[in-house]
Structure 1
Amino acid sequence: MSNEPIALDQALASFDALWSPRIVTRVNDYEARVAKVHGEHVWHVHENTDEFFLVLDGELRIGLRDPEGERSVTLPTGSVFTVPRGTEHRPYAPEGASILMFEPTGTSSVGDRHEEVPAHVDTTTGHSLTP
């Protein structure tokens, strides 16, 4: 990890892979990851951790399934949302978006229970940024 400031726009410009997060920094046992997203991700759940989303650019939607039923939240640029642990969810961005996620180191972007990982996803736990 760098001991210098990290420009998120430059971090995002350093890769093109969709739904394949890059680790920008670590905070104790957590990672801040950025990702470019477009289209639908997979339905998945994180049994032991919440998942924090910050939309840096574009609009992200998150489908949620819980005991009360299914719903969707819409996050425009600058919005944050935390998916509670144990909640099945599916992020999607019909027009594309750039996001920052904050979650425990090693957390899979397809959760503990998920559909098959799409072929275009090159990492589910994040790559470190290249200098």
Structure 2
Amino acid sequence: MNAAINLNSKLNSFDEYYAPRTVATFNDMDIMVVKACGELNWHVHEDTDDFFLVLRGHLRLETEHGNVELGPGDMYVVPKGVRHRPVAEQECHILLIEPTGTPNTGDASTAASRKVI
């Protein structure tokens, strides 16, 4: 790979919400972009932390310990085992980093399928 990855270009290539797209891998981790709007279900990742970096818009991470408000350039790591859900009143663009194969809903049966772009 000899070219930079343009995250805006990747985000412009799809319209679905809460359907992460893998744009690169790093040490067995997926680096993903996702569009969010509305709320995702409450869920937990028992075996891994959940990394969020807001690229555009605003995101509220509701957790069992309280809410965290994120704007462009803000990041937050939900510790493993903490119940949470992301909520966006308007479209929000996010960078995620998770171990490859981590279901975005915490449950493989309801998770978005892994898509590499």
Normalised TM-score (structure 1): 0.84
- Taking every aligned residue pair, what percent have the same amino acid on both sides? 43
Higher gyration radius (CA):
1
Quote the offset at 1:71 in angstroms.
1.2
CA distance in 1, matches of 2:70, 2:113: 23
2:17 maps to which residue? 18
Query: Is the counterpart of residue 83 in structure 1 residue 78 in structure 2?
Result: yes
Matching residue's letter, 2:45: H
SS of equivalent to 1:23: strand
2:114 maps to which residue? 126
CA distance in 2, matches of 1:107, 1:97: 21
SS of equivalent to 1:44: coil
- Could you list the per-position Cα deviations for residues 41-66 of structure 1 after superposition, in whole angstroms to 9, with x for gaps in the alignment? 1100000000100000000100001x
- Could you list the per-position Cα deviations for residues 75-112 of structure 1 after superposition, in whole angstroms to 9, with x for gaps in the alignment? 01110000000000010101120000001000000014
For structure 1, list consecutive stretches of 5 or more residues without a partner in the other structure. 118-122
**Displaced runs of 4 or more, over 4 A:** none
5 Å-filtered alignment, 1:49-128, equals 49-65=48-64, 70-112=65-107, 117=110, 124-128=112-116
Higher mean Cα deviation, 29-38 or 104-113?
104-113
For structure 2, list consecutive stretches of 5 or more residues without a partner in the other structure. none
SS of equivalent to 2:102: coil
Aligned residues: 117
Checking the alignment, whether the CA contact within 8 Å between 1:36 and 1:99 is kept in structure 2 is yes
Normalised TM-score (structure 2): 0.93
Query: Is the counterpart of residue 4 in structure 1 residue 3 in structure 2?
Result: yes
